[in-house]
Structure 1
Amino acid sequence: MQRLLYILAYPILWLLSILPMRILYIKSTALYFLVYYIVGYRKKVVKDNLALVFPEKSLKERDKIARQFFKHLCDIIVETIKALTISEKEIRKRFVVTNAEILDEYYRKNRSILLMAGHYGNWEWSGILNKLMDFEAHAVYKPLDSKQFDALVKKTREHFGGTIVSNKKIVGVLFRKWKKGIKTLTYILSDQTPKLGAFKHRDTFMDIDVPMFTGTEELAKKLDFAVLYLKVEKVKRGYYTATFVPLVDNPKEYPDFQITRMFFDALEAQIREKPEYYLWSHKRWKLRKMD
């Protein structure tokens, strides 16, 4: 069944991906009205999350954020489809890295990097980063159940080079390359929700007590990798900037969980400034500590 669905879906996705962005954004607007006003996809999840995180805001303010978020989510959907065939020239124009030169210092020091990021702005177009660095590039992802769609995700995210690695295999991959002296930059979406009983630490995210993934921090300390934050900002529809923000150069010098805290502080600052660009449809606070 999954294979049949893929066979039917792939030609449609490919044909959509070759359309100009202006046409895709028209479709995004239509999709927004369908998703928000008719289907109501995860509307309750989004509004519950916003009420939990922003109790000080009025219902009218939170509803406005919700509508803006769904518009942005639909843009992300068409931008992800576009990633199948988008040219390097076009994506460089639309996803601009503001300070790629900051990586030169790490190259000179022969230091590998773990690049922490959140589900903010556009995380799907970050594959262009592979064209801007001298190190071997990796991105961590959670494989899909469908082998066909999983292969499509990998193909899309490897469009500009780099290697997509399963979250269950990344430690082994990086450890082997570390032993061989191969320097790497690894992109990790670090605001995921751990499974119940599969975490070591709790802390606050947007002032809500939740379990935290600490694997990135632990890996950085074990292999002595520098840690950076990728700050992605939406400039206007279809245009983003990405900035490398150094977090720590010597991770072993930091107390346990402080690096994780630094990442969430950076992400929270962006969310508080422009909350509509965060992925509110994700059940990030489902394992929160109840009063």
Structure 2
Amino acid sequence: MSIRRAFDYPLYLLVRIIIAVVQAVRIETCVSACRALAWLMFDVVKLRRQLVDENLAQAFPEKSLAERNEIGRGMWVHLLTMVCEIAHAPRKIHSTNWRKYIKLQRGREFVGSLLLARPRVLVTAHFGNFEVAGLMSGMLGISTFTVTRTLDNPYLDEFVLRFRELNWQFILPKNGSANQADTVLKNKGALALLGDQHAGPKGCWVDFFGRPASCHKALALFTLLSDAPMILLYCKRRDKPLHFELGLADIADPQALPKDCTDVKRLTQWYNRVLEDEIRKAPDQYWWLHRRWRDPPQRARAKASLRDAATPTERRDAA
């Protein structure tokens, strides 16, 4: 047994103890502690500080350093609060009281799109509390199949899996689940994915916050090949913890695709643009410590250079 595996169970026990303490404390008290820990992480320990600073500088060049630091510090408050909300949500939010905590934005259109008698591809990002979004889908009577990465720690993976599958949310492993995903869509199911995962040098490179970002081609292919509307969702915190706005950002229906969404590249660029627009409304609720942007291969860099050198008219014609 490797040294790493020897620490898996003690780490799992530590996490369970922390979760138990969080659940025993009022959520408002948890948030006060989160603010103090966020200051420690961002200003003292400076955990992933260089990466966060670089990402924010690239995404918001128009903002001052103080404004970007406020977003970075707020991101840590958000991440820590998100953990507390995940611990409290199953005990606080139920099928009989969810309206007290959740505000549906474009509610009729949102629920109607999820209840279509067709395959559906639900896309969100590392933005807001996407784990609560999964919990809420079950409360709304919508069974989803979520593609996610298996955690390295098997005990933590099983613990997180139990939470995610509380309300008709089924988990498909990110690696090796292509056939299962196809089966879900063939059976007119709902497939849920994060749209801002780095896909490596062979991914589909599109613009995201003004920089090339690699995206998985599968998201667009699921929609284009399976007659599955791509439904872009978000679940962001409102004015206090455990209170969210759950809404429909946009939808691309393959039966009536706009001109800028007719192939993999264009559809991928479209959903990244929609996600970016939502993130800009609450930038402190995005994972800026996430390594979303990495060096593109030479061919992608060359295309980006040509695009940057083109006039606005040429860019529009190329699109």
TM-score (norm 2): 0.80
2:246 to 216, 239, 242: 242
Provide the alpha-carbon RMSD of the alignment.
2.5
Q: Distance in 1 between matches of 2:97 and 2:140?
A: 15
Give the 3 Å change call, closer, same or farther, for CA 44–251 of structure 1 in structure 2: farther
Q: Distance in 2 between matches of 1:251 and 1:3?
A: 49
Q: Distance in 1 between matches of 2:146 and 2:44?
A: 35
Shift of 1:70: 2.3
Give the 3 Å change call, closer, same or farther, for CA 82–31 of structure 1 in structure 2: farther
Partner of residue 69, structure 1: 75
Give the 3 Å change call, closer, same or farther, for CA 11–111 of structure 1 in structure 2: same
Q: Which one-letter code corresponds to 2:271 in the other structure?
A: F
My pick for the range that moved more, 82-91 or 18-27, is 82-91
Shift of 1:217: 0.8
My pick for the range that moved more, 281-290 or 241-250, is 281-290
Gaps of 5+ in 1: none
Partner of residue 186, structure 1: 191
Partner of residue 30, structure 1: 36
After superposition, what is the alpha-carbon deviation per residue over 1:90-115, rounded to whole angstroms, capped at 9, x for unaligned? 655333333443343664x5212111
1:133 to 119, 141, 146: 141
Partner of residue 278, structure 1: 286
Identity of paired residues, percent? 22
Q: How does 1:252-291 map to 2 (within 5 A)?
A: 254-288=262-296, 289=301
Q: Which one-letter code corresponds to 2:182 in the other structure?
A: F
The total of aligned residue pairs comes to: 285
My pick for the range that moved more, 47-56 or 161-170, is 161-170
After superposition, what is the alpha-carbon deviation per residue over 1:233-269, rounded to whole angstroms, capped at 9, x for unaligned? 3321312201124421116952232221121111111
Larger radius of gyration: 2
My pick for the range that moved more, 211-220 or 55-64, is 55-64
Shift of 1:83: 4.1
Q: Which one-letter code corresponds to 1:26 in the other structure?
A: S
My pick for the range that moved more, 166-175 or 273-282, is 166-175
Q: How does 1:135-154 map to 2 (within 5 A)?
A: 136-154=143-161
Residue 126 of structure 2 is aligned to residue 123 of structure 1: no
Shift of 1:80: 2.8
Gaps of 5+ in 2: 1-6, 306-319
Shift of 1:206: 0.7
Contact 2:249-2:278 at 8 Å conserved across structures: no
1:171 to 178, 198, 202: 178
SS, match of residue 145 in structure 1: coil
Q: Which one-letter code corresponds to 2:291 in the other structure?
A: K
Contact 2:145-2:184 at 8 Å conserved across structures: no
Shift of 1:215: 1.2
My pick for the range that moved more, 109-118 or 7-16, is 7-16
After superposition, what is the alpha-carbon deviation per residue over 1:147-201, rounded to whole angstroms, capped at 9, x for unaligned? 111111111222222112112244322322444xx33122211111113x342x2
Shift of 1:10: 1.4
Partner of residue 40, structure 1: 46
Shift of 1:42: 1.4
TM-score (norm 1): 0.87
Q: Which one-letter code corresponds to 2:269 in the other structure?
A: R
Q: Distance in 1 between matches of 2:267 and 2:233?
A: 14
SS, match of residue 279 in structure 1: coil
Contact 1:17-1:84 at 8 Å conserved across structures: no
Residue 199 of structure 2 is aligned to residue 203 of structure 1: no
Residue 241 of structure 2 is aligned to residue 233 of structure 1: no
Q: Which one-letter code corresponds to 1:210 in the other structure?
A: A
Give the 3 Å change call, closer, same or farther, for CA 92–163 of structure 1 in structure 2: farther
SS, match of residue 55 in structure 1: coil
